[in-house]
Amino acid sequence: MKHVYIIGSKGIPARYGGYETFVDKLTAGQQSDEIQYHVASRRDNSQLSEASNLFEYNNAEVFSIDVPNVGPAQAILYDIKSLEWAIQDAKKIGAEAPIFYILAARIGPFMGHYVKQIHALGGTYFINPDGHEWKRAKWPLPVRKYWKLSERGMIKHADLVIADNRKIEEYILDEYRPFTPKTTFIAYGTDTIPTTLKSEDENVRAWYAAHDVVEQGYYLIVGRFVPENNYETMIREFMISDSSKDLVIVTNVEKNKFYQNLLQKTGFDQDKRIKFVGTVYDQPMLRYIRENAYAYLHGHEVGGTNPSLLEALSSTQLNLLVDVGFNRDVAHDAAIYWNKQPGKLAAAINQADLYTAGELSENANQAKEIIQNEYTWKKIIEKYEAVFNR
């Protein structure tokens, strides 16, 4: 039996988040009976963890970790406590050649210490470094410097780096060439099953009425409300476009400093087309909203293979993506690309508005074919299990 310890997600059952969804799908879709998963979970992530330090979910052993709220360092402390628990558990059960798979590069300065313990067990340490956390504008400069230092430490000591985007793999091989890192590419996955909701369903009609939008009458944005997702560019450019459609923004917006600055810079409250609609956690409803958007705007430029991009490609007929390597690596020619130069996205929106029904259908089919060929959860799980069992 191959024991695989997964550390770094908030845990399962997944409430939200890319890593959490990944771990949920990986364990729920397990095909090999030669793998036993052990998953770290923050106690405040799941009601199931309130009753016990250990519980089973998706045939995985889930261990609850208590971690105090110490601000930005909470995630670092959580990963350390999770890794310590995992190492002790592997010792206790006598796990043969266990794998410790860490999601995100948060504890690099400490990995030299822990990797010695892992190797002493006959185990291996794998890392998924995510995207460029050290580029995120939400972090002050000292924190960004820490993330870069941490990434370096995580890569230096890794037995295998699993990149979810080919451009991330290229970056790791180039940036950390002196460490001769061993890498592999396994993408993130997405669901391809259409929504079960119908236009006439009461909750569908209520949502559209509440936000004064109609099917096929809006461009859509879904994503975290952070500067590096280019909300300012997308809103500003939509406002100067000629489109008669709405811009529906599904995000966890808070009227914080970023929101106030955005409002002051763009004056979006004066444009009736711009509609912040809050979050949508009901997955069939979110899928319906995606499927019935005219087009999707994607401004993420820091991460690797972004889950919301895969969801858009599998469900939305036309996608307008910020032109970065991560996005081109996923969508290829099945999208319209834009950059942040003034007028570029507005021109792309005007172009998109002129697409014929045939062009929209052709684009949608091309995007769905990419998803079916490369990004279904079944294929992603098969690749992971092949690596774990190797």
Rounded to two decimals, the pTM is: 0.89
DSSP 8-state secondary structure symbol assigned to residue 163: E
| Cα radius of gyration (the chain) | 22
* Average pLDDT along the chain: 93
Q: Say if residue 109 is preceded by a cis peptide, omega within 30 of 0.
A: no
Q: Decide if 48 contacts 12 (C-beta within 8 A).
A: no
- Cα separation, 313 vs 321, in Å, equals 11
Average pLDDT over residues 3-18: 88
Asked if residue 70 has pLDDT above 90, the reply is no
Token pair recorded at residue 123: 């185990």
Q: How confident is the model at residue 69 (pLDDT cuts 50, 70, 90)?
A: confident
Residue closest to 7 by CA, chosen among 69, 67, 70, 93: 67
Asked if residue 135 has pLDDT above 70, the reply is no
Average pLDDT over residues 198-207: 97
Average pLDDT over residues 180-205: 95
Per cent of the chain over pLDDT 90 is 78
Average pLDDT over residues 12-29: 88
Average pLDDT over residues 189-212: 96
User: pLDDT per residue over 310-364, tens digit each?
Assistant: 999 999 999 999 999 889 999 999 999 999 999 999 999 999 999 999 999 999 9
Per cent of the chain over pLDDT 70 is 95
DSSP 8-state secondary structure symbol assigned to residue 24: H
Listed in sequence order, the residues at least 6 apart from 285 whose beta carbon sits closer than 8 Å to its beta carbon are: 195, 197, 203, 204, 207
Report the CATH architecture of 2-189+376-389: 3-Layer(aba) Sandwich (3.40)
Q: Decide if 345 contacts 234 (C-beta within 8 A).
A: yes
Average pLDDT over residues 114-142: 85
Cα–Cα distances in angstroms (integers) from residue 124 to residues 12, 35, 390, in the given order: 23, 15, 12
Average pLDDT over residues 189-194: 92
pLDDT at 213: 98
User: pLDDT per residue over 27-51, tens digit each?
Assistant: 999 999 999 999 999 987 765 655 5
Average pLDDT over residues 195-202: 96
- Cα separation, 207 vs 185, in Å, equals 39
Token pair recorded at residue 164: 């979810």
Residue closest to 6 by CA, chosen among 66, 63, 46, 55: 63
Average pLDDT over residues 226-246: 95
pLDDT at 131: 67
pLDDT at 309: 93
Listing DSSP states for 270-285 in one string gives G-TTEEEEE----HHH
Give the distance between the most distant pair of CA atoms in the chain.
66
Listed in sequence order, the residues at least 6 apart from 264 whose beta carbon sits closer than 8 Å to its beta carbon are: none
The residue type of 253 is: V
Q: What is the CATH number of domain 202-374?
A: 3.40.50.2000
User: pLDDT per residue over 247-298, tens digit each?
Assistant: 999 998 877 788 899 999 999 999 999 999 999 989 999 999 999 999 999 9
- Cα separation, 91 vs 269, in Å, equals 58
Q: What angle do CA 100, 105, 111 make, to 5 degrees?
A: 60
Pinpoint the residues of the chain covered by CATH 3.40.50.2000: 2-189+376-389, 202-374
User: pLDDT per residue over 154-173, tens digit each?
Assistant: 999 999 999 999 989 999 99
Length of the chain: 390
Asked if residue 23 has pLDDT above 70, the reply is yes
Q: Decide if 99 contacts 36 (C-beta within 8 A).
A: no
pLDDT at 253: 82
Q: How confident is the model at residue 85 (pLDDT cuts 50, 70, 90)?
A: very high
Helix axis angle for 108-120 and 141-157, nearest 10°, is 20
332: left (phi over 0), alpha (psi -120 to 50) or beta: left
